Structure 1
């Protein structure tokens, strides 16, 4: 049974979120809290497995509570907030929130029940969360360390594209990789499972915090070296060859698509366009998106990297990729930038 704590200053939101959670037979709402201070008391009393957390609250907001929580009793947190700005959601993820859900219709809305399926899915993945990895990442995220890689160098200019896929836990991990990775002469394209709008906000944030030119990719855009292109949420992104250049093709997702953007689809198209001149990297996330395409990348001569269980917050995606036998290098997060650099620079 998953013990859940609901933290929100709105009585309507507390009751509604608690009711949605209680509808699942494997979730027990052990308490609610009206602000961060109340939440601390409830955490110490009930020791929940997961917390749904509003970010805007009086007395002590969600950010201050997250700082206390990760220092004193690291616990899986799903931010449920009406704020969709960069400074709220992505700040919460940096402070240790596992994932987020945007409240539809504002802070208090009758549309809140629209998030039920997404909320239950994210709360139920708690069993897969490696909290010790999350705690280490939070405590060491500003150490500036850049681990060396034992990955062998390739011939110069052998790589023309790096493709990266991740899901839960991905935004802070990606930010860390791009802050440590020197500017490369090849483009990087990212499929991060994230709703529409948030992929653009995420790209804007990483653009400000790293040396890379980071943007949400547009349909038909040429992929240039020294740039990072984030696949738009809710859409599908492919890579196609146009003579000597690579272009992104962005199209509408279909109701049958389990993930949008899909890591498998991005990797498959990139492998078709680049063959052996591709590096595919799969990092933290639930599910198995990307594992099928890793086989294709390897079969066509591309190089493959997966984040190890030592650092992945959710080992689902990298773990499934590793099971295929198609992963060349299994590395902790802080060794991935150096490995990418060695493969790309030669």
Structure 2
């Protein structure tokens, strides 16, 4: 799209209140133009064809056709950037993760408190995500990835226990993380992950990954001993840090101040990993808007850790990796399908 004109948005939501709140938020931004609204997907599809918006905001639960069914049809016939509007519930999180798998760029969780107050608090997040979605690459769902065989003969005894894999991502991250984890065998060192997500969603995300990947995946809990072959996802609204207890790594889950406007923050994770495993780390920064993780990746590279940034072509939003590359923090810049293989290669070198 032309970056000198406003982002053209179509709102599809059965709630008159939500439609009006979104219109008001976008109107105050100045860089977003609401070209139309619709109360259900049937009406919405006609307006997509007629108005040709840059971005669609789509409610998950609607009459006549639910958001997931509509998204599947839309991605087959008219692929475009979609930001889902979800409820902050267990059921809402599972449906939203399915939407991201089907090709939605991002999501916004409706507040549990007063919708008027909550949406006002979320206004910066809402406008940022819509503008990022307008620049995003819309991709078809990726196939299941076969794990890279782990050359155990090339691994010295104790390698899995003394090394650490750290991964950070934001917009587009759920599917990127899935592809990386699915490409890793069960014998890898402990994996710690920050994906920018609210509470409830991170647990559903971890459980979904656990069903799809060879490595075991769980939402991190304070005091967890980090085990080889296991991945630990930072819980929403908490930072995940790594500490050492003798020869063991432990998870520390804390609710200190946001870093780079985020909690969990990738930089908060990478800074703790810098102290815990330093040069024995393989750190990966995946797709996402903003700069969270870029500074931390550079620090890790400076002490001799292996660092990987996802390349522009395969990122949904080339923000965080680009910042890391510009800082000189990326030892390798790779397309997403090659990252798991490179991680295994670095661990067995």
For normalisation by structure 2, the TM-score amounts to 0.89
Show CA shifts across 1:294-327 (max 9, x none): 1211121110011111201011011111112231
Distance in 1 between the 2:205 and 2:145 partners? 21
Residue 58 of structure 2 corresponds to which residue in structure 1? 53
Matches within 5 A, 1:301-320: 301-320=304-323
What displacement does 1:256 show? 6.5
| Conserved? CA contact 2:83–2:108, under 8 Å | yes
Matches within 5 A, 1:95-174: 95-105=102-112, 109-111=115-117, 113-114=119-120, 115-129=122-136, 131=137, 134-135=138-139, 137-138=140-141, 141-142=142-143, 144=145, 157=159, 160-174=163-177
Q: Which runs of 4+ in 1 moved over 6 A?
A: 145-148, 153-156
Counterparts in 2 of 1:196 and 1:182: CA distance versus 1, 3 Å: same
What displacement does 1:36 show? 1.5
* Count of aligned pairs between the two proteins: 336
* Match of residue 271, structure 2, among 268, 273, 285: 268
Residue 283 of structure 1 corresponds to which residue in structure 2? 286
Counterparts in 2 of 1:189 and 1:319: CA distance versus 1, 3 Å: same
Residue 214 of structure 1 corresponds to which residue in structure 2? 217
Counterparts in 2 of 1:154 and 1:292: CA distance versus 1, 3 Å: farther
Distance in 2 between the 1:255 and 1:267 partners? 14
Residue 29 of structure 1 corresponds to which residue in structure 2? 34
Distance in 2 between the 1:313 and 1:289 partners? 16
Residue 292 of structure 1 corresponds to which residue in structure 2? 295
Residue 181 of structure 1 corresponds to which residue in structure 2? 184
Show CA shifts across 1:249-274 (max 9, x none): 11113166521111112112112111
Distance in 1 between the 2:337 and 2:328 partners? 22
What displacement does 1:184 show? 2.5
The unaligned stretches of length 5 or more in structure 1 are: none
Distance in 1 between the 2:220 and 2:301 partners? 25
| Conserved? CA contact 1:154–1:342, under 8 Å | no
What displacement does 1:105 show? 3.5
More relative contact order in 1 or in 2 (CA 8 Å, sep 6+)? 1
For normalisation by structure 1, the TM-score amounts to 0.90
Counterparts in 2 of 1:255 and 1:274: CA distance versus 1, 3 Å: closer
Counterparts in 2 of 1:304 and 1:292: CA distance versus 1, 3 Å: same
SS in structure 1 at match of 2:63: coil
Counterparts in 2 of 1:172 and 1:181: CA distance versus 1, 3 Å: same
Superposed CA RMSD in Å reads 2.3
Counterparts in 2 of 1:160 and 1:64: CA distance versus 1, 3 Å: same
| Conserved? CA contact 2:309–2:333, under 8 Å | yes
Residue 84 of structure 2 corresponds to which residue in structure 1? 79
SS in structure 2 at match of 1:100: strand
| Conserved? CA contact 2:147–2:214, under 8 Å | no
